[in-house]
Structure 1
Amino acid sequence: DECWKVFENHALKDGDLELNDELMKVGRRIVERCKGLPLALKTIGCLLRTKSSISDWKNILESEIWELPKEHSEIIPALFLSYRYLPSHLKRCFAYCALFPKDYEFVKEELILLWMAQNFLKSPQQIRHPEEVGEEYFNDLLSRSFFQQSSIVGHFVMHDLLNDLAKYVCADFCFKLKFDNEKCMPKTTRHFSFEFCDVKSFDGFESLTDAKRLRSFLPISNPWRAKWHFKILIHNFFSEIKFIRVLSFRGCLDLREVPDSVGDLKHLQSLDLSRTGIQKLPDTICLLYNLLILKLNSCSELEDLPLNLHKLTKLRCLEFKDTRVRKMPMHFGELKNLQVLSPFLVDRNSELSTKQLGGLNLHGRLSMSDVQNIFNPLDALEANMKDKDLVELELKWKSDHIPDDPRKEKKVLENLQPHTHLERLSIGNYSGTEFSSWVFDNSLSNLVFLKLENCKYCLCLPPLGLLSSLKTLEITGLDGIVSIGAEFYGSNSSFASLERLKFDNMKEWEEWECKTTSFPRLQDLSMRDCPKLKGLLEQHLQLKKVVVSGELIISGNSMNTSTLETLDICSCLPVNIPMIHFNLLREMSFSGGCHSLTIFRLDFFPKLHCLYLNNCQNLRRISQDHAHNHLVSLCIDECPQFESFLSEGLSTPLIGDENLKLLGKPMQIFFPSLTVLQIFGCPKLEMFLVGGLPLNLEYMTLSSLKHIASLRESLDPNTCLEHLTIETLEVEFPDEVLLPSSLTYLDIGNCPNLKNMEYKGLCHLSSLKLVNCPSLQCLPKEGLPKSLSSLTIQNCPLLKERCQNPEGEDWGKIAHIQDLNI
């Protein structure tokens, strides 16, 4: 019955109350073939929602795909059927996603740009913009459950089984490094991707040049701060990829100069050089007449854009945020196809500058910087913002700008009023004392996201509660706000759609009048660094996530704790944490101020996955009566009185001194799902018992030699522990202490007295990081484990000198390591 409900929810069309008897009979047989897999039920249900006749349903029931041969057993027939019935244009778009690794969270707009660069987005007679076509394709795949919304707003994921399906259907056209076991890339490969963690050093794959018709070269990072290295001549590489359409070097630190031969890549439609070391672009880049997308974000050395950039007349997306570029190139107003511009830099000759912007028919995203250079409010009208059908707009003044006339600042903002279709708006460093009426009068009826940041001259908030579609509101660094009252709401039933509300760095804010009829849909409330705001939040809210700091206290009486999933409390002042039942809470963090907490009763949090306890001065133990099957991650940091994980009343014999506190066998019993354990600054927690640590533990961080010394014996012989981090160790590391042989990753950081380190028995170690260890003198005489493939040495001056190529005394011990960062 549960399977039928899942299927029926997706198979019924809008407005249909039930299926007729014949369709229900066929539908139930299809449900049986899905074998209880929720994803299969969803996708096949979505497919059948588009089929109304009984013959269509019978064709799907009787399809030969349900009987896939054994060699394709990893492919779920229901998913393959859903793919088989996709329109051809959606098949191409879905199959291209085989380039993504499993669990990769992608942004809709970025994926649409990739599809665009491959010419997947077709519109008859070019009636619609390709971005609009891509939006339709994406939403269609989302509605059919091929994509899923991730926990991060605006991000999406593919289920692992659908990722397998994408790889299966694209066969040899997509090659994903490390996922595809073949050493040689097939000559049929059209699209190539790799993760930063798999290729920190790209030293040239000979087979890459065998794929003569390669169309995509795509490094993929998650998280975005990762980096990689490219050690083959880029000019030679360019000569081998004449048919490339998507080329990305994002995050490649070695790229400091783009060769002139880039101009020979005539088919190139997307070029991403973000977070590289380039200082300038060659003029030949302006010969790429088919280029649609150019991204140069976070190129911190880049000072100018090419003078002839306006010759790239097909360009639809230009991004160069966080660079040294301070002015727009001449004639940029000729880029008539531009849809996304981030940023547009307002020149001191604001009239000419805004006139060129006014001539662009932007339809996507615009980030407008240096707005303070608009001296005459009439120049703002020249930007023609009302006629630009933008989805997202960012307006930024310079942070140190001192206004000479707040009324003029308001008039400039007034004249930058965007189109009513706008969905996302950010205003930063605005210098007026009040906002223009269009920000709050609901003329922006589609606005779902609003961010007001560092508008320090603003004295009161506008009635933002009138924005009927607003889902996310972020207010940060408004130093002029002392009180928030009735003016914030605008009506009795305000903030009708708001789901996420964030206040941050509000230095002077003292009082908040929270209306009981407001925020009917609020789920996520964050209030950080509001030092003068005191008292109890009295609003009875059905929240899922709460983040608070300072003296603001949310008690169990002021919210429905049965709905709460995340709770993060940070305070330097004493706060009382209600020890009541939080039945759905998954993540919990206490940082400072929880002085009354002596025993943390884990039984009150039956669904807790992650627990972080920091600077709880009187915390002595974690207590629970039964095994906690959900706790995955536990961190205890700077809790000087913490003694034990032992439950009250639990009888476990102590070894040796009767005052010795033990981390005992109950950890295996009470924390069967624990995979991450981090312990810092807990001097009263003395040692681990033999075989006492959880069996599924994969990642540990320790700062005490006592804990490290007992680690090897406290682990089960079949331990899963692979990653160990040793942080802030104050003493020397004895030679006789052996680390667990199961380790594959070892990170040692911030250990000022560490002079030498032994790596005996670490036969599986593949990655070693040594960071901020100024006394570390040399590597072991016998060298490092042969299994090591990655070594990072940072801020270890004595060791750095010995590891220099080729004169260093320890160079011979590390020269063979593939990924070397010193």
Structure 2
Amino acid sequence: MHTSWVTWTAKVWSLIVIPLEMKTSRVSTLACPMNVVDIEAAEEQVAEETVIEEDDIEKDGYEFQKEDIVLLWVAESLIPQAESEKRMEELTKKYFDDLLSRSFFQRSRNEKFTMHDLINDLAMSMSRESCLRWEGGESHEVLKRVRHLSYARGQFDCAAKFEPLYEVKHLRTFLPLRREWHRHYVSKRVLHELVPSLLCLRVLKLSKYGNIVELPNSIGNLIHLRYLDLSDTAIKRLPSTVCTLYSLQTLLLSYCSSLIELPADMRKLINLRHLDCSGTQIEEMPVQIGRLKSLRTLTTFVVGKSTGSTIDELGELSHLGGRISILKLNNVVDGRDALQANLKNKKDLKELELAWGSEDPDHSEKVRYVLDKLQPCMNLERLTIKLYGGTSFPNWLGDSALNKIKVMRLEGCHYCFELPPLGQLPTLNCHYCFKLPPLGQLPTLKELFVCNMKFLRTLGPELYGQPFQPFQSLERLEFKEMSKWEEWVPSGSGGPDFPRLQELILEKCPKLRGSLPCDLPCLKKLSVEGCGVLHDQRATATTSTSTNLNYNSLRELKIEDGCQTGLLSLLEAKLLSQLMIRNFYDIQCLPNINRLQSLNLWNCPTLSSFPEDGLPTSVGGMKTGRPVSRFSSYQGPDFRQVSEAMRKLALSSYLLERLSLSSGCGVLHDELEIWTNV
């Protein structure tokens, strides 16, 4: 392996992914008020009470995301200059993938990565002169040479902790790593004295410090700063001096829920490539944001009403990619401005949200015209439309050329009387729609969520589409808050309507009667809540189809809030292992469920007995609350038969006069709980 490549690899990883997550078994006993703003008064007590010793530190692989590492590498200029600056992030991702293919990284959970211990040791040994994973106690000579520093956040990071860093004159990276606490607090002196003195900083990360409400004006002294992360802090405004950080490439403000505006001179940050202000309260974008022509990421664009940027300025940002939410589209005055946003030619966009701030049925034609002119590129994978006030959708929304759409959400489109032929994974929330489009024809549809269609009464042939077996790939189906829905008609195709469905959820469909689909061979999880008149096939006298339910794969069953007894036939499913029945008034006894592992019963006042032979030996836990109000003497399950598996038992004392357990209950060494209902 080439020596320079090894050196580069070690340098990269020692700088960016310090693969040590600091954890302590002893932490401060000082209470942490959530409204802490200034923690100086607590410094002395915290310093005395917080004890972190060498033996308390555990080394775990630090988990990181690819996107975060790419931005840090770019900020540190670790990647050789690309032929075109437009390709900088793309080239960096290729370097990352190359290291991954060589097993320098390992895939972790939730699309995250870790670094192998041996590679970490190699990187640290080759970069120990300039990189430091700071634990305190390092000599002055060591600190003087440090260029890149990481440390473990404490719950309270007081000024005394950072005192040695005032001697570090050439620090380029200030990178706190996460701790177990969800909220952290840092001394004001660190922000107002230490940080502005680190004049060579390229990377400054202050995320998750919950008491940061402002930055000092002296932040403008950090003229070399390229990466500033303030995400998940309480900051309300950025000082105007931030706009003098002309080298800034990345500004992260996500989930700063108190942030209400951006500085007026943001247009001066001509090198800014990534601006994430998702989850903020920003009311409009500053004027002339279209001058930030280097932007690759702009997660949120709020259309101004009388001041701020208008939507046509998006047309100047030709390199936008990733995801963007365009909010307050009701402020668009002229639909031709929407056309100038030029979304159709932004080929790197993958996720798009279009949201109106209010509904106005009197201007439905203008609203439809605006949406028509916001047609996205064909590479889009996710599309969300919220509070759309038009009475119909534009033609492009059903265009088959949108063949990469994986997720579509239509929420609160109250005035639409018809829906387009949707792409993959749609979510429907359209109050005035009377029928669904032929979603069964979509060959790759895996999840379907239908919500709040107040006027839909029947699901029938229009849902399944042409006369062939529908929903070939659907795995998850959910209906919620369908107040008028009464009938679910099968397709009549001769085979299963949902051959691969694994999860079915019905919630708050109070008028749905008749039967569920009778043939769901792959269904593993069924949840029915608030469907008071729903019967299965066996309880439906009007059905002409077979009464046999093919739910042979069912493993989890939840029945809640007034469902009919016809559903109880599903208790006979051979593979059923988890059962929850709540607020059910028509069950008298439980059958013998051979594979049952978990049982949860709540408010079932007519339940009077368990199986005569007791619960199966596979049951590992049972919870009851107000279920057995007619049991004046509750013998419960026969614990002589479940002693090997039962680990947890929780019982309510509601109307319970006597509890008798056999000697076999001695194995309940994990948990035995009896509580009183108030």
- Structure 1 length normalisation: TM-score? 0.60
C-alpha contact 1:461 1:484 (8 A) present in aligned 2: no
Q: Are residues 549 and 616 of structure 1, via their aligned partners in 2, closer, same or farther at CA, if it must alter by over 3 Å?
A: same
The separation in 2 between residues aligned to 1:87 and 1:568, in whole angstroms, is 57
Q: Could you say which residue in structure 2 is the equivalent of 1:573? A: 563
Task: Please list, as runs of the form range in 1=range in 2, the aligned pairs for 1:396-795 lying within 5 A after superposition.
Answer: 396-398=355-357, 400-464=358-422, 465=439, 467-491=442-466, 492=468, 495-513=471-489, 515=491, 519-538=498-517, 539-551=519-531, 558=549, 560-562=551-553, 564=554, 567-575=557-565, 576-577=567-568, 578-581=570-573, 583=575, 589-593=580-584, 595-596=586-587, 598-599=589-590, 603-605=594-596, 612-618=600-606, 623-626=614-617, 631=620, 635-641=623-629, 647-648=637-638, 650=640, 669-671=644-646, 684=656, 692=666, 694-695=668-669, 704=675
Alignment CA distance shift 1:411-1:127 (3 Å): same
Using the alignment, how far apart are the partners of 1:229 and 1:404 within structure 2?
Answer: 50
Gaps of 5+ in 2: 23-59, 423-438, 539-547
2:216 to 250, 254, 259: 259
Q: 1:496 to 1:616 in 2, by over 3 A?
A: same
1:290 aligned partner = 247
Three-state SS of the structure 1 residue aligned to 2:354 is strand
CA contact (8 A) 1:339 1:365 kept: no
Bigger drift between 514-523 and 453-462 goes to 514-523
* Equivalent in the alignment of 1:206: 161
Aligned to 1:227: 183
Deviation of 1:255 (Å): 1.3
- The C-alpha deviation readout for 1:598-629, integer Å capped at 9, x for no partner, is 448564235x6xx654434455669534355x
How many Å separate the matches in 1 of 2:509 and 2:637? 37
1:391 is paired with a residue whose SS is strand
**Per-residue deviation at 1:135?**
5.0
Query: In the TM superposition, what is the alpha-carbon distance from 1:431 to its structure 2 partner?
Result: 1.7
Deviation, 1:493, is: 5.5
Indicate if the aligned counterparts of 2:287 and 2:309 stay in contact, CA closer than 8 A. no
Alpha-carbon distance in 1 for matches of 2:237, 2:523: 49
SS of the equivalent of 2:571 reads: coil
| Counterpart mapping for 1:32-111 below 5 A | 92=12, 96=17, 98=19, 109-110=67-68
For the 8 Å contact 1:618–1:640, the answer to whether it is kept is yes
Do the aligned partners of residues 293 and 694 (structure 1) sit closer, same or farther apart at CA in structure 2, a change above 3 Å counting?
Answer: farther
Q: Over residues 338-368 of structure 1, what are the superposed CA-to-partner deviations in whole Å (9 max), with x where a residue is unaligned?
A: 2222321123369971220111121221101
Is contact 2:327-2:355 (8 Å) kept?
A: yes
RMSD: 4.5
The C-alpha deviation readout for 1:368-427, integer Å capped at 9, x for no partner, is 1112223433332111110112011011112x4122143443332222111111111111
Letter of the aligned partner of 1:450 in structure 2?
M
Task: Give, as a single letter, the amino acid of the residue that structure 2 aligns with 1:531.
Answer: P
Q: Distance in 1 between matches of 2:653 and 2:573?
A: 29
| Map of 1:779 onto structure 2 | none
SS of alignment partner, residue 125 of structure 1: coil
2:276 is the alignment partner of 1:319: yes
Question: Which ranges of structure 1 fall in alignment gaps of 5 or more residues?
Answer: 1-55, 57-84, 652-665, 706-727, 731-822
Change (3 A) 1:514 1:703: same
- Residue of structure 1 in register with 2:322 after alignment: 364
Summarize the alignment of residues 266-345 of structure 1 with structure 2, pairs less than 5 Å apart. Answer: 266-345=223-302
Closer, same or farther in 2 for the Cα pair 1:545/1:379, shift >3 Å? Answer: farther
State which of 346, 371, 382 in structure 2 corresponds to 1:388: 346
Pairing 1:191-202 to 2, within 5 Å after superposition: 191-192=149-150, 194=152, 199-202=154-157
Name the SS for the 1:129 alignment partner.
Answer: helix
CA distance in 1, matches of 2:558, 2:197: 52
Asked if the contact 2:284–2:302 (Cα under 8 Å) also holds between the matched residues in 1, the reply is: yes
The CA distance in 2 between the partners of 1:404 and 1:440, in whole Å, is: 25
Q: Does the CA-based 8 Å contact 1:463-1:489 persist in structure 2?
A: no
Q: Does structure 2 conserve the Cα–Cα contact (< 8 Å) formed by 1:316 and 1:340?
A: yes
SS of the residue corresponding to residue 536 of structure 1 reads coil
Cα pair 2:214 2:235 within 8 Å, conserved: yes
Q: CA deviation at 1:257?
A: 1.6
Any idea what the Cα deviations from partners look like across 1:446-484, whole Å, max 9, x if unmatched?
111122222222334433335555544444334454444
- Give the aligned partner of residue 433 of structure 2: none
Distance 1:477 1:321, change over 3 A: farther
Structure 1 residue 325: Cα displacement: 2.1
Deviations 1:126-164 (A, max 9, x none): 3763443455556667777855474xxxx32457xx665
Instruction: Supply the distance in 2 between the matched residues of 1:270 and 1:571 (Cα, whole angstroms).
Output: 52
> Secondary structure at 1:364's aligned position in 2?
strand
* Shift in CA distance, 192/498, structure 1 to aligned 2, threshold 3 Å: farther
In 1, the alpha carbon distance for the partners of 2:127 and 2:550 equals: 50
Deviations 1:45-68 (A, max 9, x none): xxxxxxxxxxx9xxxxxxxxxxxx
| CA distance 1:253–1:352, change in 2 (3 Å) | closer
SS at 1:344's partner residue?
Answer: strand
Cα shift at 1:125: 1.3
1:347 to 277, 290, 304: 304
- Structure 1 570/327 Cα, relative in aligned 2: closer, same or farther at 3 Å? same
For the residue of structure 2 that corresponds to 1:434, the secondary structure is: coil
Q: CA deviation at 1:285?
A: 1.3
- In structure 1, the residue matched to 2:545 is none
SS at match of 1:368: strand
Specify the alignment match of 2:35 in structure 1.
none
Count of paired positions: 580
